[in-house]
Amino acid sequence: MNRIIRVQARPNYVLAVEFDDGVTGELSLADRLFGPMFEPLKDPDYFAKATIDAYGAVCWPNEADVAPDAIYRKIVSPETVS
Residue 82 counted as domain residue: no
Q: Quick one: 16 exposed, middle or buried, by C-beta within 10 A (0-12, 13-18, 19+)?
A: middle
User: Is residue 81 in a domain?
Assistant: no
Cα angle 81-54-76, degrees, rounded to a multiple of 5: 25
Q: Let me know if residue 8 belongs to a domain.
A: yes
Residue scoring higher pLDDT (81 or 16)? 16
Give the chain's domain count.
1
In CATH, what number is assigned to the domain containing residue 43? 3.30.2020.10
Domain of 14?
4-76
Is pTM beyond 0.85? Reply is: yes
Q: Does a structural domain hold residue 19?
A: yes
In a domain, 9, yes or no: yes
Render pLDDT for 17-72 as a digit per residue (tens, 0 to 9). Answer: 999 999 999 999 999 999 999 999 999 999 999 999 999 999 999 999 999 999 99
Please indicate, yes or no, if residue 58 is contained in any of the structural domains. yes
